[in-house]
Amino acid sequence: MTTETETDTAAMAALLERQRHAFLAEGAPSQAQRCDRLSRLHATVLAHRADLARAISEDFTHRSRHETDILELVVTVQAIDYLKRNLRRFMRPERRHVALTYRAGRAWVEYQPKGVVGVMAPWNYPLVLVLIPLATALAAGNRAMLKPSELTPRTSALLCHMLAEAFPEDEVAVILGGPEVGAAFSRLPFDHLLFTGSTSVGRKVMQAAAENLVPLTLELGGKSPAIIARGQVNRRTMEGLTFGKLSNGGQTCVAPDYALVHRDDLDAFAAAYDQTVRRFYPAGPTSPDYTAIINERHVARLDGLLEDARQKGAQVTPVGYRPESAASRPQTIAPVLVLGAGDDCAVMQDEIFGPILPVRTYETMNEVIAFVNARPRPLALYYFGERDADCEKLLAQTTSGNVCINATMMHVAQDDLPFGGIGPSGMGAYHGIEGFRAMSHAKGVFAQGRWNLSRMLHAPFGRLVDLAAR
Ligand code: NAD
């Protein structure tokens, strides 16, 4: 008897074979063919713009279509345009140095498509985290199989439908299913696999990929700190921080997870955060721009984090709304500050992924650096302050996937910057030329010239000795 997963596995393996066969039959696609694929992707995203925003909002129970436009659609379309505009440069073979001994040979690197790329995505940005990896794979000349999240079923089904309209199955295919399908998907012998999701599942995916020596890009999570320099509680800081913390209801891999605030600024910070949240979301958690939590399990998880913090003596303070207006939508958690949470609190240990902001205080920048370095390397690090000696020191002495100064999340929208984590927050990067290269094979080629000095390297070696002795 075959189980459902076995059937899925066989069907997925057959699909991968069909894509690989089509890839080999076509050979490396030209720049024009790649542009055509990117254009089809661009067109289908724009054609389904309203449906996508609706599907995402239904999957979350509530997310503003403006937020989907700003954080997913615009970023996706911009990334596709960037890839198209830069494709010729990315694809160009690169001349490399040849040592005197090997002259007059020539050396160069060709960036060749790997073949079939697998893409596994989470639920929190169900569009951009599927489509930018896909655009990158297509730009690099690959075919792609995509496995979106089961927690956004309407969006995943719509992606399946719209991509099937735009691409034959042997070019781009979408596989629907949950963790079991994900596990089977990660065991397939892809030519490259890009996984975006949690660190714990990332570990399993890496183990599965190792069986077939599939090269991996892992885009994982973690706790990204926001460091507010002394005396820098101002409008720019608070707006930048609030945008990153509360967009998508805080369910963002690069959200500032916790804030490090100078001890003298704590009161001003708490008051300014409250005011800024009120300005962003005037009706508190029922504001139209405030996104709900993806499901009841995650609501319970976030409630559990707050209960744990309270029990361990931390102060949990609602911000940005009058408590009487808190009777909110289903699956919605109001923004809160958590003050005085120690290292033993779960909010200081687990990735929060919700509208909860723990704040810790510091006295010196050395203390901040030690604090960050004592913890797993984060996906992003945020610094609010002048580009001064402290900032330079922080840049030089801490390691994080990316850094963003005086803003949050904006680094992700920079098409020309690599985006990725380090250590438990990820491995490898995409976006920009780094993404193109991650999904390409850098094939080094050496071509011997008609006249060449390297003949001296052939036996009999006595000639070299004679030459050296002269
Ligand atoms: P997840 O790891 O639970 O799921 C990600 C994908 O893996 C889904 O498609 C899921 O179906 C699949 N999956 C689940 N269990 C699996 C298994 N055992 N084997 C193989 N596949 C499996 O993550 P999530 O809850 O959907 O997303 C939230 C996490 O993703 C957070 O940790 C967040 O930080 C991270 N994230 C990272 C980035 C980034 O770019 N670095 C972006 C967004 C989210």
Q: Which two tokens stand for residue 154?
A: 């309407």
Q: Is the CB of 124 under 6 A from ligand 1?
A: yes
Interior angle at CA 59, CA 322 and CA 221, nearest 5:
80
Confidence label for 1 from pLDDT (cuts 50, 70 and 90): very low
Distance 410 CA to ligand 1 centre (A): 22
Q: What is the mean pLDDT of the chain?
A: 95
Least confident window among 97-101, 109-113, 422-426: 97-101
Distance CA 194, CA 179 (A): 16
Does ligand 1 have an atom closer than 6 angstroms to the CB of 42? no
- With b meaning 16 or more CB within 10 Å and e meaning fewer, what string describes 325-344? eeebeebbbbbbbbbbbeee
Q: Is the minimum distance from the CB of 380 to ligand 1 under 6 angstroms?
A: no
Report, as an integer, the average pLDDT of 86-95.
98
Ligand 1: does its nearest atom lie under 6 Å from the Cβ of 80? no
pLDDT at 104 over 90: no
Q: How many angstroms does the Cα of residue 148 sit away from the middle of ligand 1?
A: 10
Ligand 1 atom, smallest distance to 419 CA: 40
Nearest to 223 by CA among 198, 255, 251, 195: 255
Q: Count Cβ atoms within 10 A of the Cβ of residue 189 and give its class: 0-12 exposed, 13-18 middle, 19 or more buried.
A: middle
- For residue 110, pLDDT over 60 is answered with yes
- Atom of ligand 1 lying closest to residue 426 CA: 41
Q: Does the beta carbon of 147 sit less than 6 angstroms from any atom of ligand 1?
A: yes
Q: What is the pLDDT of residue 7?
A: 64
* CATH code linked to domain 225-399: 3.40.309.10
* Portion of the chain with pLDDT greater than 70, in percent: 95
Check residue 3 and give its pLDDT. 57
Candidate of 156, 186, 193, 198 to mutate for ligand 1, largest count of ligand atoms within 8 Å of Cβ: 198
Which residue is closest in CA terms to ligand 1's atom 38?
253
Q: What angle do CA 418, 421, 424 make, to 5 degrees?
A: 165
Any catalytic annotation for residue 253? Answer: yes
The owner of tokens 């913090």 is: 309
**Ligand 1 pocket check for 257: Cβ under 6 Å:** no
* Structure tokens belonging to residue 285: 């958690």
**231 is written with which tokens?**
């005396």
129 lines ligand 1 (CB under 6 A): yes
Torsion sign across C-alpha atoms 212, 215, 221, 227 = positive
Whether the predicted pLDDT of 469 surpasses 70:
no
Residue range 101-120: mean pLDDT, rounded: 95
**Tell me: the pLDDT tens digits for 139-155?**
999 999 999 999 999 99
What is the distance between the alpha carbons of residues 383 and 420, in angstroms, rounded to a whole number? 18
Q: Global pTM? A: 0.96
Report CA(444)–ligand 1 centroid distance (Å). Answer: 35
Distance 413 CA to ligand 1 centre (A): 20
Q: How far is CA 64 from CA 139, 187, 345, in A?
A: 31, 36, 32
User: Do 1-221 and 225-399 share a fold?
Assistant: no
pLDDT at 462: 73
CA-closest residue to ligand 1 atom 26: 122
**pLDDT at position 2 over 70:** no
Q: Is 205 in the pocket of ligand 1 (CB under 6 A)?
A: yes
107 and 404 in contact (C-beta within 8 Å)? no
Q: Would you say the CB of residue 421 lies under 6 angstroms from ligand 1? A: yes
Ligand 1 atom having least distance to the Cα of 201: 2
Domain limits of the chain?
Answer: 1-221, 225-399
pLDDT of 11 over the 90 cut: yes
pLDDT tens digits, 412-436: 999 999 999 999 999 999 999 999 9
For residue 121, the CA-to-ligand 1 centroid distance in Å is 6
Per-residue pLDDT, averaged over 378-386, amounts to 97
Average pLDDT over residues 246-266: 98
Reported as half-sphere exposure (CB side, CA atoms, 13 A), residue 227 has a value of: 29
How open is the CA angle 356-61-184, to the nearest 5 degrees?
90
pLDDT tens per residue, range 178-201: 999 999 999 999 999 999 999 999
354 lines ligand 1 (CB under 6 A): no
Q: Choose which residue among 181, 190, 196, 422 to substitute to test ligand 1 binding: the one with the highest number of ligand atoms within 8 A of its C-beta.
A: 196
Exactly one of 67, 219, 351, 434 is catalytic; which is it? Answer: 219
Across 211-221, average pLDDT: 98
Per the annotation, the verdict on 404 as an active-site residue is: no
| Number of neighbouring beta carbons within 10 Å of residue 71 | 21
The yes-or-no verdict on residue 326 having pLDDT over 60 is no
Write down the catalytic residue from 253, 345, 391, 404. 253
CATH class, domain 1-221, is alpha beta
* Backbone phi, psi, residue 276, to 5°: -65, -40
pLDDT at 63: 97
- pLDDT at residue 467 greater than cutoff 70: no
**369 token code pair:** 């650096």
Q: What is the pLDDT of residue 292?
A: 96
Q: What is the mean pLDDT of residues 271-293?
A: 95
Is the shortest distance between the CB of 426 and ligand 1 below 6 Å? yes
pLDDT given for residue 450 in this prediction: 86
Instruction: Write out the chain in H/E/C secondary structure.
Output: CCCHHHHHHHHHHHHHHHHHHHHHHHCCCCHHHHHHHHHHHHHHHHHCHHHHHHHHHHHHCCCCHHHHHHHHHHHHHHHHHHHHHHHHHHHCCEEECCCHHHCCCEEEEEEEECCEEEEECCCCCCCHHHHHHHHHHHHCCCEEEEECCCCCHHHHHHHHHHHHHHCCCCCEEECCCCHHHHHHHHCCCCCEEEEECCHHHHHHHHHHHHHCCCCEEEECCCCEEEEECCCCCCHHHHHHHHHHHHHHHHCCCCCEEEEEEEHHHHHHHHHHHHHHHHHHCCCHHHCCCCCCCCCHHHHHHHHHHHHHHHHCCCEEEECCCCHHHHCCCCCCCCCEEEECCCCCCHHHCCCCCCCEEEEEEECCHHHHHHHHHCCCCCCEEEEECCCCHHHHHHHHHCCCCEEEECCCCHHHHCCCCCECCCHHHEECCECHHHHHHHCEEEEEEEECCCCCHHHHHCCCCHHHHHHHHC
